[in-house]
Structure 1
Amino acid sequence: MSLLRAAATVSGLTLLSRITGLARENLTAAIFGASAFTDAFFVAFRLPNLLRRLFAEGAFSQAFVPILAESRAHAEARGGADPQAALAETRTLVDRIATALFWTLVAVSLVGVLASPALVWLIASGLREQPEVFAAAVTMTRWMFPYILSASLIALSAGILNTWKRFAVPAFTPVMLNLCFIGAALGLSRFFDPPIYALAAGVVLGGIAQLAIQVPALHRIGMLPRIRLNLREALADPHTRRVLKLMAPAVLAVSVAQISLVINTHIASRLAPGSVSWISYGDRLMEFPTALLGVALGTVLLPTLARARGRGDDRAYSELLDWGLRVCVLLALPCMVGLALMSEPLTALLFHYGRFDAHDVEMTRRAVSGYAVGLIGLIAIKVLAPGFYAQQDVRTPVKIAIAVLVVTQLLNLLTVPWFAHAGLAVSISVGALANAGLLLAGLRRRGVWHPTPGWPKFLGQTIASSALLAAALAATVPRFDWIAMRAAPFERIGLTLGLVAGGAIVYLVALLALGVRPMQFVKHGRRSD
């Protein structure tokens, strides 16, 4: 599968995931609104979600995939004419890592369930002022904490499938969580008191469903992990030890970003009621372009960069990074402009239903605008970080992440008194821009990335095109009363989609007029595999 096709596959399925994710948030907002109990759910879900990102999607994935790919290549080289022997050797590695991961996360889950009251207090102590809300957060934390176990096994399965270039199933897996979420909100809320407990049940069911759809794909390639009882043997395996060794600094790198989110949640819980929800809804909207562009690029770049490094092809390595950065600038810059200037219509379109009122729209819009400032940085990180991980360098991202955490929290002291919850979004954005800038400087300094000719001209072309897009949106968006259109939802949908399409046309025409030819990126994507 070519680099372009792989990226298109991941991006397309990520789009489906984000659409269902937005539908899930839409239903959550319409059914439950932005209340103290929705704050309790988001706090409870953030705890297991934090560890999921640390152990599943973050550090584990970065450590496991390169070692699995290397082990597979060595096994195939030794196996020669006996592919079954090579498959068996690789499967032994998968079984031992799966065993170590499973029993470790079982222990973590048990600790989390028992320590739920203390954990909720640490992340959102402001909820204690409302005992019934605090109790609900504790209960939902206990229900959802074991989700990190299923999520980690899902990440293991995804790493295996991606190594075998089976990108479709892992990219589709998040859709299952969203569908279970939606089903629980619609069908189970009337059976719980408070009804918000239905969402916690949806998370549990979603974890099971996500894992279940991976099983047939793993079975087809002969890599369905087998969990053993002997944890000591699994931990003694040299490959397992290498994964753990690489995970240690990677956990620190990922945890710094998540600690920043936890601190922001803690601060938001002490602001006006609903602040945690406004930040969460804004984060969901911001993650749409971040995942669609950044995750797709990062998913296909990491293994491709690793192959280039394995061949000793420094030129291809640099060209891959350069291609990823140009695609990032080409697509992320207009998304940043659009998200900032269309924050009100997008927020109203997606969330202004049911108990989610005009005040909630305005507060969420402010958070979205704050996040938009750093959108290009958030996407660029997904392109730049694989440049370090493919070289098995995680120390540099760790140092950068720590520096960014300090910057972010210092900014909170300045922005929150002036902008309340929106100040938290602004601090995250500035931190993301700083993170991306430092990663880029590091790659350039060590000679890993050599900019291809034409960067100043390309930047000028994209900035000018984005400026024209900004002017067009600034002249049209304020002409409509997006809140009043609640009574005419189809009109609001049509106008919003029309603005998005019109903005895309303005940007594309401006690019073409200034001499940018998007097909050049397509051709390079085909050559880079």
Structure 2
Amino acid sequence: MSLVKNVGTIGGLTLVSRVFGFARDMLLSRLLGAGTGADAFFVAFKLPNIFRRLFAEGAFSAAFVPMFSTELHGEGGREAAIRFSTQVLSVFLPILFLFTAVAEIFMPWIVEAMAGAYREVPGKFELTVALSRLTFVYLLLVSLVSLLAGILNSMSRFAEAAAAPILLNICLIAAIVFFGSTDTGDNFGTARALSVAVAVAGVFQFVWLLLAVRRAGIELRLLPPRMTPQVRRLLRIILPATFGAGIYQISQLIDVFFATRLQEGAMSFLNYADRLNQLPLGVIGIALGTAILPALSRLVGRGDADGAQRLMGTALELSMLLTIPSAAGLMMCRDALTRAFFLGGRFDAADAAITADVMAGLAVGLPAYVLIKVFTPGYFARGDTKTPVYTALAALIANIALILLLIERFDIVGLVIASAAAAWLNVALLYAGLHRRGQFHLTAPSALRIGKQILAAALMAALLWWLAVPLAPHFGGNVFERVWSIAALILPGAALYFAALWALRGFDRDQIARFRRPAA
């Protein structure tokens, strides 16, 4: 299967998931708004999601996928790959049970570390602890899901794993529709229903991927845990990778720590804004990062340095071709999008205005977040999980320093600007490491094409700014007005961008054609 097709499969299903996520948060904004119940749920939901990103999109996959691929395509073939997976499952499952149980016991202290300021609002801290205990069950299940997804991705079966997050959003939407409370005096019932739905979604995702793995011919069994040489080697790889990914998650926790100490609703503003930001990040960044790791591992494994350079170069151009206009569009359309999607019910115009500013700050870092997903596999495919640790640590230190510098003056917007700047620092360090080792460099033609992409995006941004003024009264109107006004804003902007890109030759057509051929 071609790499473009792999990216399209992952990105397309991620897009479906993000659409369901939009529907979820549109309902949430109307029922929960940006108050106590919403803040408590978003903190509780952040906990398992941090570990989801740590395992499913971070250290575990980075260590497991290359090792599983080696076993699968080596002398032992499928039987060796099944044996390795069974050994990993038998060791990791007891660890996950123990970790989850300990976290449930110490949840008040965990929430205290993240959101101790919630004690100042009556009932808010206790609600956050109760919701976090419900959602944390998801961690155990999603960690198993990450193992199953790693197996499928190694076999170039990307669809089932990419579809799993859709189940989470369906469960959350069902909880809102059937159990959400419209009582204006208390929205805690909706938050509790959502937290239960998170745990239920984990069960559905696990069963979904377990069946997919069996269809792929992989039968996993539980055996007494044994620290085999392969499991020890996996741990030696995964521990520094976990630390590296953990630094990023610590950065996320720091954002939560500071956000919970700002005005009521800050966590909600951050979540709603990030919903829009996560659309291009998930569709482009995560899809590319997931798709190129197995292909890059194969190229590196057989010593094809030129092939690895071409693969990463094309991935870089393809990611920027889509991410640069996405970032520009989010910044120029921030008021239109937040009003059209979220305004209504308990979410008022003032909430929408703050969310729009937060979204603009997040958009500044969007290309950097995507580039991190593109550059990091260049290290993981070569078994180097330590260098990303050092770059992430430097970015974390810069992030904390910038937060302390900006948050007092710019409030929550300063928080996201600091994170965006730290992400750009991480990109610079990752690229410098690859370039210094001769493993990847940005060629002059690629740099020129990316410059043309920026120019085309600037033309698009100017058109969006001009169109937004006459359309502004309709962004907060009825459903029909919101739909046509957003379409009248975005469609001409997208058309101008791609037309300008074509006229400027802002992408290598021959390279894209080569990229669509079956991956080696």
Fold conserved between structures, TM > 0.5: yes
User: Structure 1 residue 386 and structure 2 residue 381: aligned?
Assistant: no
Preserved CA contact (<8 Å) 1:252 1:398: yes
Given candidates 492, 511, 516, the residue that maps to 1:502 is 492
Counterpart of 1:223 in structure 2 is 218
Q: Deviations over 1:291-336 (max 9, x none)?
A: 1111111111111111101111110010111101111222111111
Give the Cα separation in 1 of the matches to 2:81 and 2:321: 40
User: Structure 1 residue 239 and structure 2 residue 234: aligned?
Assistant: no
User: Structure 1 residue 251 and structure 2 residue 213: aligned?
Assistant: no
Give the Cα separation in 2 of the matches to 1:458 and 1:516: 5
Give the Cα separation in 1 of the matches to 2:491 and 2:451: 23
| Counterpart mapping for 1:74-473 below 5 A | 74=74, 77-78=75-76, 86-190=77-181, 194-228=189-223, 230-231=224-225, 233=226, 236-473=227-464
Deviation at 1:492, TM superposition (A): 1.5
Normalising by structure 2, report the TM-score.
Answer: 0.96
Partner SS, residue 516 of structure 2:
helix
Counterpart of 2:514 in structure 1 is 524
Q: Deviations over 1:131-163 (max 9, x none)?
A: 411111111111111211100111111011111
Note closer, same or farther for the CA distance 1:250–1:517 as it changes in structure 2 (3 Å cut). Answer: closer
Preserved CA contact (<8 Å) 1:101 1:152: no
Give the Cα separation in 1 of the matches to 2:472 and 2:466: 14
Note closer, same or farther for the CA distance 1:514–1:88 as it changes in structure 2 (3 Å cut). Answer: closer
Give the Cα separation in 2 of the matches to 1:154 and 1:429: 30
Deviation at 1:193, TM superposition (A): 5.4
Which residue identity does 1:218 align to in structure 2?
Answer: V
Which residue identity does 1:439 align to in structure 2?
Answer: L
Give the Cα separation in 1 of the matches to 2:110 and 2:330: 34
Preserved CA contact (<8 Å) 2:471 2:485: no
Preserved CA contact (<8 Å) 1:341 1:474: yes
Preserved CA contact (<8 Å) 2:51 2:139: yes
Give the Cα separation in 2 of the matches to 1:497 and 1:239: 53
Bigger shift: 410-419 or 400-409? 410-419
* Structure 2 unaligned blocks of 5 or more: none
Counterpart of 2:505 in structure 1 is 515
Which residue identity does 1:515 align to in structure 2?
Answer: R
Which residue identity does 1:208 align to in structure 2?
Answer: V
Deviation at 1:500, TM superposition (A): 1.4
Partner SS, residue 119 of structure 1:
helix
Which residue identity does 2:194 align to in structure 1?
Answer: L
Q: Deviations over 1:187-210 (max 9, x none)?
A: 123599533101101101111111
Bigger shift: 310-319 or 496-505? 496-505
Preserved CA contact (<8 Å) 1:10 1:296: yes
Note closer, same or farther for the CA distance 1:435–1:193 as it changes in structure 2 (3 Å cut). Answer: closer
Preserved CA contact (<8 Å) 1:189 1:197: no
Partner SS, residue 225 of structure 1:
coil
Q: Deviations over 1:360-388 (max 9, x none)?
A: 10111011000011111111111111111
Calculate the aligned-residue CA RMSD, in Å: 1.7
User: Structure 1 residue 49 and structure 2 residue 49: aligned?
Assistant: yes
Give the Cα separation in 2 of the matches to 1:515 and 1:221: 42
Counterpart of 1:12 in structure 2 is 12
Partner SS, residue 194 of structure 1:
helix
Deviation at 1:264, TM superposition (A): 1.3
Q: Percent identical across equivalent pairs?
A: 36
Note closer, same or farther for the CA distance 1:195–1:453 as it changes in structure 2 (3 Å cut). Answer: closer
Bigger shift: 179-188 or 497-506? 497-506
Give the Cα separation in 1 of the matches to 2:150 and 2:428: 28
Deviation at 1:51, TM superposition (A): 2.4
Note closer, same or farther for the CA distance 1:455–1:165 as it changes in structure 2 (3 Å cut). Answer: closer
Preserved CA contact (<8 Å) 2:87 2:228: yes
Deviation at 1:245, TM superposition (A): 0.8
Q: Deviations over 1:214-246 (max 9, x none)?
A: 122111222132223x22x2xx11111111111
Counterpart of 1:83 in structure 2 is none
Deviation at 1:524, TM superposition (A): 2.6
Q: Deviations over 1:322-359 (max 9, x none)?
A: 10111122211111110111111111222113211111
Bigger shift: 111-120 or 182-191? 182-191
Give the Cα separation in 1 of the matches to 2:283 and 2:510: 21
Partner SS, residue 487 of structure 1:
coil
Deviation at 1:25, TM superposition (A): 1.1
Which residue identity does 1:223 align to in structure 2?
Answer: I
Preserved CA contact (<8 Å) 2:71 2:78: no
